[in-house]
Copies of this chain bind each other. A is one copy, B any other.
């Protein structure tokens, strides 16, 4: 079975710009952890700093995870949910904000060590810009690179995985696509800096997500982490996996196996109006179905089809292999 995990906040309340109170009620953290543990297949959690874990409560959170046999898969530093990051964190023009962002990353490093968590998943959502001619595109990219380098260099025991997303909350993000994020990761010169693919972000970027996997793996085994969800193709709708697309998830699981991806299969959704646990469960079940049907004989058939390069045969094979 694949190692499934989930971002803890997916089980809680979620808001948007029109309903800042959120669509549901907030759940106590303990309840969310318990629910995560009950989902078949889920063996790990990702925690957002500030929201889920702080220097003050790290040990208590660790005990909660232990009690439910859950690993801490990643810490996601909160570089996006505070007013001070509103005009950027690691790339902010204000030097003291940049320093604060670096300081916070070091805090996350400490929390990760306490939780035996091997990976820091950096999504610098506020680092970007909205308007043409708003920003000094060279300086800010350099600051972003320097900040990441400084922290990753001093914590060689951890992986730093950069999560890209083309837009939202900024109109243009500095880490926008697989390849530009990889370029920045390579620019650090550090082996412990890599890239996170969020399937939905990749769809919005217009990538074929399997090709993003291949690029990251081919140019230095740089795919460190995977977030799963689905959307309608134009926005990060953060929906249940398989609720919109199908064959692309088969392709994705194939190339993850083929390129030797050994990280987690983590769910990252925003079930605004739905039961969080149920939504995560449905996603994991969908991926389990593909993984089950993609057995050794199916994989062998697929290898053969990739050599044939005949999309009609492949389409018929998908019909016969996956559908009733």
Contacts and interface: CB of A to CB of B under 8 A. Distances in A.
B243 A247 contact: yes
Interface residues of A, number: 104
Contact of A205 (B134, B178, B206, B248): B206
Contacts of A324: 289, 293, 321-324
A270 interface: yes
Contacts of A83: 19, 21-23
A278 interface: yes
Contact of A183 (B211, B219, B273, B281): B219
A250 B166 CA distance: 22
Contacts of A171: 232, 235, 237, 239
Contact of A240 (B167, B208, B242, B311): B311
A314 B136 contact: no
Contact of A242 (B210, B244, B246): B246
B315 A282 contact: yes
B245 A133 contact: no
> Taking the full assembly, how many copies of this chain does it contain?
4
B219 A187 contact: yes
A154 interface: no
A294 to B, nearest CB: 11
Given A93-B309, A130-B311, A172-B211, A19 B235 contact: no
Interface in A22-65: 22-23
Interface in A161-219: 166-169, 171-172, 176-180, 182-183, 187, 204-208, 210-211, 214-215, 218-219
A270 B239 CA distance: 25
Contacts of A318: 133, 242
Contact of A132 (B82, B176, B243, B274): B243
B131 A314 contact: yes
Nearest to A182: B183
Nearest to A25: B83
A312 B218 contact: no
Nearest to A241: B315
A171 B82 CA distance: 26
A132 B17 contact: no
Contacts of A22: 20, 83
Interface stretch (A66-74, A97-105, A299-307): A299-307
A68 to B, nearest CB: 22
A318 B322 CA distance: 13
Complex A-B, nearest 6 residue pairs according to Cβ-Cβ distance, in ascending order: A179-B179, A233-B233, A179-B180, A246-B246, A131-B311, A278-B312
